[in-house]
Structure 1
């Protein structure tokens, strides 16, 4: 008796009948998106005020200043 393990379904077709080329293209896109997310830096977003402080810039007063300060 041989024991063969089947890998978990990576993609499952629930409707329709895609061709082998369509499945290959879909798999390539999903893997590329997963790789892109894994390579993304884990750096937290930096707020506008923090950037201005790091550059030693004071807030600019005037019309519309509240829009520029929203971060």
Structure 2
């Protein structure tokens, strides 16, 4: 979810904040066609369903596990 960020943001993101060491160099990141923006993520959900994954499995892949963990940590 870093869509639209400039190079300065990624420079900040990839440096250790305590020692200014470079942590990694991402290079150019291009998401696959059809899921290049957040608004296109429903395409990924549909593709998973079209390839035979069950709805409960797709829910887990698309963030359900994170939601479950956050509920356990913070409560509902």
- What's the TM-score bracket when you normalise by the shorter of the two chains? under 0.3
Larger Rg: 1
Q: Which has the higher contact order (CA 8 A, sep 6+)?
A: 1
Task: With the length of structure 2 as denominator, give the TM-score of the two structures.
Answer: 0.24
Which of the pair is proportionally richer in helix? 2
**TM-score, structure 1 as length reference:** 0.25
